[in-house]
Amino acid sequence: MSGSVASMSSSVAVHLSNLAWRRAPTVAVGRVCAPRARGRAHRGIAIVAKRSAKQRQSRKLEKRDDVRDMQKRMEERKAAVEAAAKFRPEPPPPPTNPTAAAERVEARLVAFREALEKVGEEKQAARESDEWDPTRGYKPFDDVQDAVYELGCCKTEVYEAYLERALALLCQAKNEPPASLDTFDWVYQRGLDENNVRTLSFMLAALAKNNVASGMVEVFRVACECGVVGALDKNIAKKAMATLTDLNDMDLLDGGEPEIVDAVARAMAAEEA
């Protein structure tokens, strides 16, 4: 695969603005007097816009209902976020060995590329539709939003497959049975939140302790592509990088791994600058 998963993916961030509806005021007609100096002949009819007491009360109740609806939606969103934070999906069956883990990586990459193509197709269809409005973008198009969401899920699954390969290599090195990422407290389907970033440091420490070079590279790959190298435990990351740098100097890393090590080294240097 040319380029990283992060560089290939795209997202849509569109914000809608709704025009508030304002009730037209009633028109009261009444006679008013012009200045006396101009005489009675210059008296005319003036238009005075005002709301009746009944209309003002109705509008006040409407505003009150709008506020209540907004507060209810905010509470529902807050509850949904809290529920999502507590939810831990069941982990998928772990790869039986590093070979099976590598095959899962390839399958996930294929699914990611297909999802990326689907996003492009749906965006093009949206731009060619009669409903297309450049000022509103893709937000009104459910097919685009669904495709973008699926792309994000596929990207997360690719990163999880990389980490599962690292764990498969660790289990092989320790002569232990296959294990899932939740062994290191990883929460599936959540991506790189604060909890899962800590998992990267835990995994990196275990891999470094057992000298699993390719596993360390996989963890660094995910951290680098997700932009969280600086969030790794600095002592653990430096120790792992020292080992990988020595192996790289001796040409003992596998194909493609030196490029990842170089990218991580640049990211760490930028964090320290």
How do the domains of the chain map onto residue ranges?
5-11+93-272
Amino acid 64: pLDDT: 83
**For position 33, what pLDDT does the model report?**
42
Which residue in this structure is represented by tokens 């596993």? Answer: 215
pLDDT for 93-104, tens place per residue? 999 999 999 999
Higher per-residue confidence, 223 vs 42: 223
pLDDT on residue 25: 43
Residue 48 is predicted with a pLDDT of 52
Which string of b and e fits 131-165 if b means at least 16 CB within 10 Å? eeeeeebbeebebbeebbebbeebbbbbbbbbbbb
How far is the first Cα of the chain from the last one, in angstroms, to the nearest whole number?
Answer: 31
Question: Rounded to whole angstroms, what are the CA distances from 84 to 79, 89, 119?
Answer: 9, 10, 25
- How confident is the model at residue 3, as a pLDDT? 65
pTM: 0.73
**Percentage of the residues of the chain whose pLDDT score is greater than 90:** 67
Q: What is the pLDDT of residues 217-260, one digit of tens each?
A: 999 999 999 999 999 999 999 999 999 999 999 999 999 999 99
Mean pLDDT estimate for the chain: 85
| Residue 66: band (very low, low, confident or very high) from pLDDT cuts 50, 70, 90 | confident
Q: What tens digit of pLDDT does each residue of 88-140 get?
A: 889 999 999 999 999 999 999 999 999 999 999 999 999 999 999 999 999 99
Confidence check: pLDDT of 216 > 80 = yes
Burial string for 15-45 (b: 16+ CB within 10 Å, else e) reads eeeeeeeeeeeeeeeeeeeeeeeeeeeeeee
Task: Specify the pLDDT at position 17.
Answer: 39
Long-range interactions of 130-138: CB distance < 8 A, separation 24+: 136/14, 136/16, 137/12, 137/14, 138/12, 138/14
User: What is the predicted pLDDT for the residue at 260?
Assistant: 97
